[in-house]
Amino acid sequence: MPVISAPHAFNEGSLFVDLESIFGCRLFLKCEGFNFAGSIKLKAANEMVEIAERDGTLTPDSILVESSSGNLGVALSVIAASKGYQFLCVTDSRCNLSTKLLMEALGSEVHVVTDLDANGGFLGTRLEYVRSLCASDDRYVWLSQYTNAGNWQAHYRTTGPEIAGQFPDLDVLFVGTGTAGTLMGCARYFRDWRRPVRIVAVDSVGSVAFGGTPGRRMIPGLGMSMRPPLLDESLVDEVIQVEEADTIRTCHRMARRGYLFGGSSGTVVSAATDWLSRNETHDLTAVAIAPDLGERYLDTIYQTNWLQDLYGDQLLDSAPANSASFDEKSATRSPEHRRRP
């Protein structure tokens, strides 16, 4: 039994769920939500804070500030509370109410922006506000998850080895893409590993992370309204974009079997099961990373009125759809999917 003295010292890294009984394909889901921050973001948050402490950027008088759609904000709130730092999270109106309340309960300040940026998202507006804070007071320390190498290094050190240790014969890995920290850390780890692993990046329709057409995105987590500075597409074999309707149907399908996962996890599973339905062989070993659990989505993707207002009454009545199209790299690229040879 582990005994800890700081909340960021615990993270369950070896729990996988076999989803074959739910989706009919061999897929192992790595569950990253079993820590005191409730998501995979605790790894990156801890790495970035420790680097800033070592190099002297972060001092006892510092005020941490970060732009986050939710999960990294919670992770930094946990660490800030534990270490005695002040923390200000700059988020937007898509942030789940429960997430905002959780950060505030941990002693953090939360600022919500409401103005859209040029790409129809909120990220540009959030970053502009963070920059203005840093310019106004040198006590503010912005870790910048979008550019901080500690973001991907955390997953090179932890997530990649955790998967490899459990699945030494891994063939394909599905990773959601937001800042691209998890994606790049795992991709670099398996590039340096002793055998090839196919890396499939999962994005949301409406995200421009991989050059897609900007559009409405109501579920926080995956997707970006700008290209992630950490992203190196040469390390990615395929890209799949998932419609939010498919994310929601997948989440509800798992919930009906007792697994309450968050929106980011539903997006990754939707992409993975669609890919496997087209490519599966009996000896294929596939793993998908579930970044979060579902409790913080009870007032959104698991709330009937929210779903009906945004997606209509029939969303959950239809069978789970898989909207990603699969074009060869040499063909005209669809907005949903890209494959590399």
pLDDT digits (tens, 9 = 90+) for 30-42: 999 999 999 999 9
Fold of 7-38+152-339: Rossmann fold (3.40.50)
DSSP 41-76: HHHHHHHHHHHHHHTTSS-TT-EEEEE-SSHHHHHH
Nearest to 247 by CA among 221, 226, 278: 221
Do 41-142 and 7-38+152-339 fall under one CATH topology?
yes
pLDDT in tens, 219-236: 887 888 889 999 999 999
Distance CA 152, CA 180 (A): 8
Do 153 and 147 meet the contact criterion of CB atoms below 8 Å apart? Answer: no
User: Within 13 Å of residue 286, how many CA atoms lie on the same side as its CB?
Assistant: 24
Structural tokens at position 289: 């990373």
Q: How high is the pLDDT of residue 212?
A: 82
Residue spans of beta strands (DSSP E) within 108-226: 109-113, 140-142, 172-176, 198-204
* DSSP assignment letter at 209: T
Which of residues 317 and 301 earns the better pLDDT score? 301
Q: How high is the pLDDT of residue 337?
A: 55
Three-class secondary structure of residue 313 per DSSP: coil
> From the centroid of its chain, how far is CA 199?
16
Q: Is the pLDDT of residue 287 over 80?
A: yes
Per domain, the residue ranges of the chain are 7-38+152-339, 41-142
Q: How high is the pLDDT of residue 318?
A: 60
Q: How high is the pLDDT of residue 333?
A: 32
Q: How high is the pLDDT of residue 319?
A: 55
Q: How high is the pLDDT of residue 217?
A: 87
pLDDT in tens, 174-211: 999 999 999 999 999 999 997 899 999 999 999 999 99
Q: Is the pLDDT of residue 9 over 80?
A: yes
- Which residue shows structure tokens 């945004």? 310
Q: For residue 247, give the H/E element and its range.
A: helix 244-255
Do 30 and 43 meet the contact criterion of CB atoms below 8 Å apart? Answer: no
Contacts of 101 (CB under 8 A, 6+ apart): none
Structural tokens at position 264: 């980011």
Which of residues 119 and 172 earns the better pLDDT score? 172
Residue 6: φ, ψ to 5°? -140, 140
Q: Is the pLDDT of residue 1 over 60?
A: yes
Please state, for a pLDDT cut of 90, what percent of the chain lies above it. Answer: 77
Average pLDDT over residues 233-252: 96
Please state, for a pLDDT cut of 70, what percent of the chain lies above it. Answer: 91
Nearest to 287 by CA among 210, 200, 205, 209: 200
Nearest to 288 by CA among 32, 65, 4, 67: 32
Could you name the CATH architecture of 41-142? 3-Layer(aba) Sandwich (3.40)
Structural tokens at position 248: 């929601």
pTM greater than 0.75: yes
Three-class secondary structure of residue 101 per DSSP: helix
Three-class secondary structure of residue 335 per DSSP: coil
